[in-house]
């Protein structure tokens, strides 16, 4: 990764009662992670249970007519029992008087009818008084329910009465609930019946309103319940990711947590605790190779894919040294860096001291750190990125990762082992697109350079300091595990380059100590039958100084990282001179280093970019300025001093006109045509230079906002080649960018 002086060194739970009778929620099996927590939560699914009304809806009242004694009622036809004279008499009385009609339309028994009617009215008045009394006593509801129950058993037949039952409601019900008198006798309507009808209408209206409300409230309640679960979990963990980005984890469907052995439940081997299970084999296995889990891998693989028509398929040999590597890093992913993902750092106050992965994890705490970083692993780099890498014409991918993917030690705040499975998944995605892998151990125990991309900014405690020897041995142990794992046949064709440690700061460390450690690491790795090319960093010694080193070993590759922006003299070069520097100086260095007579031999540029300023946010560390503007104050870094600080502007105009980062940090859509042309030419000149050796890996594939460090954004902006091999600039042609109107402080 870029370095500085390389001192880059830097429910509403909801109301549970409101739906108690009409809506119940039950969790189903199947789970998910909250967007920002490592804790497993259940996905609720909702089952609706229907409830019948406590009393059935009133039956439609049949019209009941008086029939002459010589006719048979419908109810009497329904039984084979003969009616006795007493039953007929009771039936006659129940139908309110023996009202018969003669042939002239006159009424017989009118006098009897009058007496009965008067008695009925008195009875109704008594009942109304009683109803008022009971209503006032709070008993009305029970009375109505009792009457409704009796109403359902309404049968006025001779047989019913003969068995000793009383008439329906002890009242008279005549034609359509009214007492009707034919002719001029008029009609009288029961007040109680009318009140009952009004009550039924009110109940019906209320029922409809309740149903409408429930139809709205129940689904809304479900949504709010789900939302409250998600938001409450998010609040307890990371605030940076919403549940809308939660992966579906469909491959857990049909599985149960009981399928996972109890001793593994809740551990990193339990897929029900994983934030993302996409493209993982979630069948539990405790199997390990080299002490590293194979959980998540499928048993089969296919090496028939190739990155493009210019290169061989994975199962064919690559002629390294003859065919140039055109690769890209996926930096800032498994080893986070502030310049690549500033959003992970920008919300903290300066006083929080969050400047690297160590301090970030310490500040968040174990649970929040795990959920925050696993979401980052899941979301920052996806299969679509590997498809895009292939489409851009790349054939190799360098994957930086750190030692905590394998293990952690006492006192480490890092999230252990979670990134391991994401590394394995990335390798399988690369395989799918025919991309070969360069494995890069980016952070070693104790920090090999003291820069933030090693995980812990500040002191170097790798092969130096109190625990330097211990941390050197720990790194050897990690390589023993890694080389055993990646010596499997499934990785032979895809893991073709294997890195020892990224950017050891050999300008500070004892050179002989680092060389001795390097020899031990190579010996251990080869003993585990890993056949991949082993790459090691130049340590900023200068390529020429590696001539004659490590010549007792074969299949080694020297890795150099080239930038013009971390050197005060190079960053001050005019635009044309920067392009010329790439074409001449770096080309000559590469050629000398690649020849064993003048250098080490096989040489690769493992990192470079088109950036011509050090203006990107957090590039030189969190809270540190830039050389370009003269605001690089290293005193603000842990253990910092004026050493490495640049407090005078270093852009080519020496601040006259003023040096500003505004243009470089702006969206590429605002770049002037001449600046876009310069950036494209500068990139293509570097590609030419590094292909004089074994090739190159651009730093990096994507960033959040550092446009000149993102190949993905560079393609979109037209400032990087659409295909890595489709280039127009040729070294030596010369371009007068100032004559094109490009200001040197741009």
Q: How far is CA 533 from the centre of its chain?
A: 36
Q: Which two tokens stand for residue 450?
A: 């003291």
CA distance 315 to 305: 8
Integer-rounded Cα radius of gyration of the chain: 43
CA distance 629 to 647: 8
Catalytic residue among 607, 629, 684, 744: 607
Q: How far is CA 481 from the centre of its chain?
A: 30
CA distance 576 to 554: 40
Give SS3 for 62. Answer: coil
Q: Are 45 and 26 in contact (CB under 8 A)?
A: yes
| b/e 686-704 (16+ beta carbons within 10 angstroms → b) | bbbbbbbbbbbbbbbbbbe
Give the residues across from 559 on adjacent strands: 537, 604
The residue written with tokens 């790194």 in the block is: 475
Q: Does a cis peptide bond (omega within 30 degrees of 0) precede residue 233?
A: no
DSSP one-letter string for 508-547: TS-HHHHHHHHHHHHHHHHHTT--SEEEEE-TTS-GGGGT
Give SS3 for 696. Answer: strand
Is 503 a residue of the active site? yes
Burial class (CB in 10 A: 0-12, 13-18, 19+), 80: exposed
Mapped to the 3 state alphabet, what secondary structure does 648-666 carry?
A: CCCCCCCCCCCCCCHHHHC
Going from the C-alpha of 713 to that of each of 655, 710, 716, 720, the distances in angstroms are: 29, 5, 5, 9
CA neighbours within 13 Å on the CB side: how many for 411?
3
Count the helices and strands in the chain (H runs, E runs): 18, 16
Burial class (CB in 10 A: 0-12, 13-18, 19+), 379: middle
Give the residues across from 495 on adjacent strands: 437
Q: Does a cis peptide bond (omega within 30 degrees of 0) precede residue 700?
A: yes
CA distance 78 to 114: 33
Q: Which two tokens stand for residue 360?
A: 């970030």
* Phi then psi dihedrals of residue 524, to 5 deg: -65, -45
User: Max CA-CA distance within the chain?
Assistant: 142
CA distance 318 to 313: 9
Q: How far is CA 659 from the centre of its chain?
A: 41
Q: Which two tokens stand for residue 480?
A: 């023993």
Task: Provide the 8-state DSSP code for 463.
Answer: S
CA distance 433 to 713: 21
CA distance 291 to 305: 30
Burial class (CB in 10 A: 0-12, 13-18, 19+), 452: buried
Catalytic residue among 374, 503, 549, 744: 503
Give the residues across from 437 on adjacent strands: 397, 495
Give SS3 for 46. Answer: strand
**Would you say the C-alpha torsion 555, 558, 559, 564 has a positive or negative sign?**
negative
Q: Which residues are catalytic?
A: 503, 607
């Amino acid at each position: 990764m870029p370095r500085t002086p390389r001192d880059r060194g830097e429910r509403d739970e909801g109301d549970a009662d409101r739906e108690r009778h009409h809506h119940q929620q039950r969790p189903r099996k199947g789970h998910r992670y909250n967007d920002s927590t490592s804790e497993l939560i259940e996905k609720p699914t909702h089952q609706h249970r229907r409830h019948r009304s406590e009393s059935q809806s009133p039956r439609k009242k049949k019209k009941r007519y008086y029939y002459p004694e010589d006719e048979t009622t419908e109810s009497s036809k329904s039984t084979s029992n003969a009616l006795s004279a007493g039953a007929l008499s009771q039936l006659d009385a129940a139908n309110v008087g023996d009202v018969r009609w003669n042939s002239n339309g006159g009424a017989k028994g009118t006098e009897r009818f009058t007496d009965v009617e008067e008695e009925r009215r008195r009875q109704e008045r008594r009942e109304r008084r009683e109803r008022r009394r009971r209503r006032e006593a709070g008993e009305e509801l029970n009375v109505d329910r009792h009457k409704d129950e009796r109403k359902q058993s309404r049968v006025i037949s001779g047989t019913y009465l003969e068995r000793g039952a009383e008439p329906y409601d002890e009242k008279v019900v005549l034609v359509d609930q009214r007492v009707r008198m034919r002719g001029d006798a008029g009609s009288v309507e029961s007040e109680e019946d009318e009140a009952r009808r009004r009550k039924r209408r009110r109940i019906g209206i209320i029922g409809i309103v309740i149903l409408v409300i429930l139809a709205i409230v129940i689904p809304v309640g479900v949504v709010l319940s789900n939302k409250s679960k998600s938001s409450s979990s998010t609040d307890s963990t990371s605030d940076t990711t919403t549940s809308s980005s939660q992966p579906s984890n469909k491959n857990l469907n049909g599985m149960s947590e009981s399928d996972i052995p109890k001793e593994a439940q809740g551990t990193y081997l339990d897929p029900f605790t994983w934030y993302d299970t996409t493209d993982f084999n979630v069948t539990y296995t405790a199997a390990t190779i080299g002490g590293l889990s194979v959980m998540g891998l499928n048993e089969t693989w296919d090496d028939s894919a190739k990155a493009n028509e210019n290169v061989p398929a994975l199962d064919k040999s690559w002629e390294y040294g003859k065919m140039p590597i055109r690769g890209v890093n996926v930096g800032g992913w498994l080893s986070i860096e502030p310049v690549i993902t500033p959003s992970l750092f920008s919300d903290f106050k300066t006083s929080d001291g969050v400047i690297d992965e160590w301090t970030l994890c310490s500040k968040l705490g174990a649970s929040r750190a795990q959920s925050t970083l696993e979401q980052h692993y899941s979301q920052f780099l996806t299969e679509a990125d590997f498809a895009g890498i292939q489409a851009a014409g790349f054939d190799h991918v360098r994957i930086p990762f750190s030692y905590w993917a394998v293990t952690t030690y006492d006192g480490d705040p890092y999230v252990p082992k979670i990134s391991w499975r994401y590394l394995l998944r990335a390798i399988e995605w690369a395989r799918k697109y025919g991309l070969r892998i360069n494995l890069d151990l980016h952070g070693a125990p104790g920090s090999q350079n003291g820069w933030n991309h090693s995980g812990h900014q500040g002191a170097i405690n790798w092969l130096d300091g109190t625990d330097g020897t211990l941390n050197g041995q720990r790194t050897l142990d990690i390589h023993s595990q890694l080389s055993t794992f990646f010596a499997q046949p499934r990785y032979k064709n895809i893991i073709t380059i294997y890195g020892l440690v990224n950017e050891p700061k050999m300008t500070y460390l004892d050179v002989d100590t680092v060389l001795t450690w390097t020899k031990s690491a190579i010996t251990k790795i080869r003993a585990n039958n890993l056949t991949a090319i082993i790459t090691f960093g130049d340590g900023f010694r200068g390529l020429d100084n590696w001539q004659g080193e490590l010549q007792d070993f074969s299949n080694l590759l020297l890795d150099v990282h080239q930038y013009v922006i971390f050197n005060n003299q190079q960053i001050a070069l005019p635009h044309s001179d920067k392009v010329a520097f790439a074409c001449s100086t770096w080309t000559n260095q590469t050629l000398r280093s690649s020849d064993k007579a003048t250098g080490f031999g096989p040489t690769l540029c493992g990192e470079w970019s088109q950036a011509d300023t050090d203006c990107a946010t957090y590039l030189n560390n969190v809270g540190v300025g830039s050389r370009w503007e003269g605001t690089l104050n290293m005193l603000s870094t842990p253990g910092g001093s004026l050493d490495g600080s640049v407090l005078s502007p270093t852009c080519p105009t020496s601040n006259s006109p003023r040096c500003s980062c505004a243009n470089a940090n702006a969206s590429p859509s605002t770049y002037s045509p001449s600046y876009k042309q310069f950036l494209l030419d500068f990139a293509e000149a570097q590609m030419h230079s590094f292909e004089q050796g074994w090739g190159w890996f651009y730093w990096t594939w994507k960033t959040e906002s550092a446009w000149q460090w993102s190949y993905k954004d560079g393609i979109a902006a037209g400032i990087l080649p659409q295909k890595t091999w489709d280039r127009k600039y040729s070294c030596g042609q010369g371009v007068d960018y100032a004559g094109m109107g490009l200001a040197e402080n741009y």
